Structure 1
């Protein structure tokens, strides 16, 4: 599917969703945000897609909100400028975090502001070596959007998150991984291929179990021990009733490699 600002390519069980405004460094325009929101909803509901790659064309993954459009919205009043948080950013991040299949971010270039929010809402990240990242919000007098108040403290802890918001410096992918942001670095030219390879491996795995794992992790924040244990019990029953589980147990006992079909 080609919609202009966002491209969607399906190959086997993997869908690659690509931000496609390289001339604007994938600034998050209204068109791009709308198309991305709708594309992610579509691949989330597609039973033939078992893993997703979120990628970007050009030298930047995303420089965040298109500030020219934002300035125009400010001239139209606050509602015009900030309705996009509920209409676009929140649904996009919710889709990435709750999608019942793994999502791998292929971050081959600069990734700041809401672009960082998109990357952190994915389950795993492949970074170009030395790629530059930043929160950027306080530099223009704003606070978080794109789920960063939820994802960033979970990834790097509260203290480091506060530091990056109060003193919004540029940092590298290597620093971010050292702080606890899951991922790995590769040469810039290999980012998409490597991310696709990871997604292909995940697509061949127990995707229903992956979906349940994402659900449990998302629900774990703020619940007590009993609630967490009960959620695990429910999740095990759901996974235990699948053909993937029964087939994998049979394969294990026969000393064979399991084949997962997502059923």
Structure 2
């Protein structure tokens, strides 16, 4: 846990290690150390992890946007604040650190709100992992996504990369990026499926916010169920997945939003979902 526990409601939360605000039903995290290209630190890792875990209990926030300040997303772990101290740690300390960073990915995948990443400029190392762990990624042509771990003598298997990245862009392409550490330009990232959409630098955040707001206006319980099933079904057989989805959909059919959608359809109106 961070030294500054994340508290509810999130609309009143003052983050210490990154920018944070709630705009209507959408919350926005801004990695905001632009002079260093928005690196992650021990403190920001911990606070981000706390934030995403608390999201599971916040009923007002329906979607998330993660972005970076100053024309870059994130350069990854801070060289001096993180990588330097790691050299001096023993195995116990190193494992404590790697497990802590992995908890951020777990928290992002476990929070019920869909997460949209708005990515411009540098998106490297742990920054690329944060983008990868988001549900949707809007990028720019000048973005450069790089899983740089091999460049510092480490394996590509960091924070779930070997599990998640192949499911986004395929095993062969993920292998290339994780073995070489090369930067993936924005247009190629879109062709490969890492970016859902390519946007102009001046509009990428607005476009991501528009998508998040569209999601936030939808059926909250159903969206949370979709995210949960997308995550859980990675480890299921097709038969198990079909059965799990039958149960999930039956639960969704008991929500008020399902009834609202039917009544709106019958009246030839657009449904207005309320999240219950």
1:66 and 2:78 matched: yes
1:84 to 67, 73, 97: 97
1:158 to 154, 171, 177: 171
CA distance in structure 2 between the partners assigned to 1:127 and 1:174 by the alignment? 9
1:17 and 2:29 matched: yes
Deviation at 1:146, TM superposition (A): 2.5
1:217 and 2:265 matched: no
CA distance in structure 1 between the partners assigned to 2:95 and 2:40 by the alignment? 13
2:211 — aligned with what? Answer: 198
Deviation at 1:161, TM superposition (A): 1.1
CA distance in structure 2 between the partners assigned to 1:59 and 1:24 by the alignment? 11
CA distance in structure 2 between the partners assigned to 1:190 and 1:37 by the alignment? 28
Alignment: residue pair count: 262
1:177 and 2:190 matched: yes
2:63, 2:114 within 8 Å by CA — same for their partners in 1?
yes
1:131 and 2:143 matched: yes
With the length of structure 2 as denominator, give the TM-score of the two structures. Answer: 0.90
2:21, 2:27 within 8 Å by CA — same for their partners in 1?
yes
Q: How does 1:47-126 map to 2 (within 5 A)?
A: 47-68=59-80, 69-87=82-100, 89-126=101-138
CA distance in structure 2 between the partners assigned to 1:151 and 1:120 by the alignment? 7
Q: 1:26 to 1:51 in 2, by over 3 A?
A: same
Q: Give every structure 1 segment of 4 or more consecutive aligned residues whose post-TM-superposition deviation is greater than 6 Å.
A: none
1:188 and 2:190 matched: no
1:42 — aligned with what? Answer: 54
Q: 1:111 to 1:138 in 2, by over 3 A?
A: same
2:160 — aligned with what? Answer: 147
Deviation at 1:45, TM superposition (A): 2.1
3-state DSSP class of the match of 1:62? Answer: coil
Return 5+ residue gaps in structure 1 as ranges. Answer: none
1:227 — aligned with what? Answer: 240
CA distance in structure 2 between the partners assigned to 1:56 and 1:20 by the alignment? 6
Q: Deviations over 1:109-161 (max 9, x none)?
A: 21011111100111111112221111111111112222211211001111111
Deviation at 1:66, TM superposition (A): 1.6
Q: Deviations over 1:169-193 (max 9, x none)?
A: 1111211121122411112121211
2:120, 2:142 within 8 Å by CA — same for their partners in 1?
no
1:262 and 2:275 matched: yes
CA distance in structure 2 between the partners assigned to 1:221 and 1:76 by the alignment? 34
RMSD value, Cα = 1.5
Deviation at 1:58, TM superposition (A): 2.1
1:248 — aligned with what? Answer: 261
